[in-house]
Amino acid sequence: MDTQLRDQIPTFGAKQGADISLSGGLSSLSSGSNRTAFETLVIILVAVVIIGGAELLIALFEVPQYILPRPSLIAAALVSEWKFIWPHLLVTLYELLVGFTIGASIGFLLAAVITQFPFVEKIVTPYILLLVTTPMLALVPLLILRFGFGSEPRIIAVALASGPMVMINSATGFRRVDLAKIALARSFGASTLQIFTKIRIPMAMPMIIVGLMVGSIFGLLTTVGAEMVGGAEGLGNRLNYYSSMIRMPQFFAVITLLATIGISIYVFFFWVGKRWGSWDA
């Protein structure tokens, strides 16, 4: 059982249960090898107490359903409405996946190229920062005017929201040049392309993965937001629909789905990071 405080000094030579820095607390979600049966039990117990407690408290204080439905009602709504919700789930996932893939690819390539040329980087960075800090949702009405009510404006918004995130984090990774390692590869006759694939990409990998994680979460936010702004499809649209009908259990069922997507993305990149990006932990 690991009940040590994080800043407690471990015994010299003892193995520390260190996780990669970007998601230390997430080890409760992964099938970590250093988790004991007791810890698993406590984690499950806490989840049961929270959900059960919500159920009880909402019933006890007679909170009206249109403010906060009981967890059991939400679960029931998720099952009964599933056949109406899942096409919208697919639309949301499609928009997210396509938009993110486009945005992330462009962001990654831009980062890789731009960091090679410090002068170009100085020129481009302010615009990338502008894209990072401006909520891309604000562009959606404009995009709808131009591209109509289909998936295209949302895909563009998602690409615009996630691309710069991937770009800015990847660039940070690519900027961590270790001259000795590049000299090492050169001394064995490496080409520029080989230095890129064998040294620079692996060296930047931890930051690239952080960028992909943050970028995809931003993508999800933008997908749902864009669906709420306009159009007739997607989980965001369903949120508008169910809340306008005051069908709160269904509304929260959709929220539950969105939370599940978000956590799945996070866990996926956590796993990717553990596999490919944890060498500098």
Partner 1 sequence: MNASTDRESRNSTAGPKMTISGASKRYDTRSGTVHALDRVSLEVRDGEFLCILGPSGCGKSTLLWSMAGLHGLSSGEIRLGPSKIEAPHPEIAMIFQEANLLPWRNLESNIALPFELKRTKPDRARISRLLQRVGLAGFESKYPRELSGGMQQRASIVRGLAVDPSVLLMDEPFGALDAFTRDEMNLLIQEIWMETGKTIIFITHSIAEALFLADRIVVMSARPGRIQEIVEVDLPRPRPISVQSTPEFIARVNDIKDMIDHRKV
State yes or no: residue 118 binds partner 1 (CB under 8 A). Answer: no
CA-based max dimension of the chain: 74
State yes or no: residue 18 binds partner 1 (CB under 8 A). Answer: no
Nearer to partner 1 among residue 4 and residue 191 (C-beta): 191
Closest contact distance (angstroms) between CB of 195 and partner 1 is 9
Structure tokens at 71: 């967890």
Closest contact distance (angstroms) between CB of 202 and partner 1 is 5
Backbone angles phi, psi at 3, to 5 degrees: -110, 20
State yes or no: residue 247 binds partner 1 (CB under 8 A). Answer: no
Nearer to partner 1 among residue 112 and residue 203 (C-beta): 203
CA-to-CA distance for 63 and 44, rounded, in angstroms? 26
State which of residues 29, 97, 190, 272 lies at the interface with partner 1 (CB under 8 A).
Answer: 190
Nearer to partner 1 among residue 83 and residue 275 (C-beta): 275
Under a CB-based contact definition with an 8 Å cutoff, are residues 115 and 173 in contact?
Answer: no
Closest contact distance (angstroms) between CB of 263 and partner 1 is 27
Burial level of 62, CB count in 10 A (0-12/13-18/19+)? exposed
Closest CA to 200 of 218, 186, 214: 186
State the residue for tokens 């990006």.
277
Nearer to partner 1 among residue 201 and residue 267 (C-beta): 201
DSSP type of residue 232: S
CA-to-CA distance for 36 and 2, rounded, in angstroms? 9
State yes or no: residue 272 binds partner 1 (CB under 8 A). Answer: no
State which of residues 54, 185, 267, 272 lies at the interface with partner 1 (CB under 8 A).
Answer: 185
CA-to-CA distance for 270 and 267, rounded, in angstroms? 5
State yes or no: residue 187 binds partner 1 (CB under 8 A). Answer: yes
State which of residues 120, 129, 142, 184 lies at the interface with partner 1 (CB under 8 A).
Answer: 184
Closest contact distance (angstroms) between CB of 212 and partner 1 is 17
Q: How many CA atoms lie within 13 A of 29 on its CB side?
A: 15
State which of residues 189, 192, 244, 275 lies at the interface with partner 1 (CB under 8 A).
Answer: 189
State which of residues 72, 101, 116, 194 lies at the interface with partner 1 (CB under 8 A).
Answer: 194
Q: Site residues for partner 1, window 196-215 (CB under 8 A)?
A: 198-199, 202-203, 205
Under a CB-based contact definition with an 8 Å cutoff, are residues 134 and 121 in contact?
Answer: no
Residues that bind partner 1 (CB under 8 A): 180-181, 183-190, 194, 198-199, 202-203, 205, 279-280
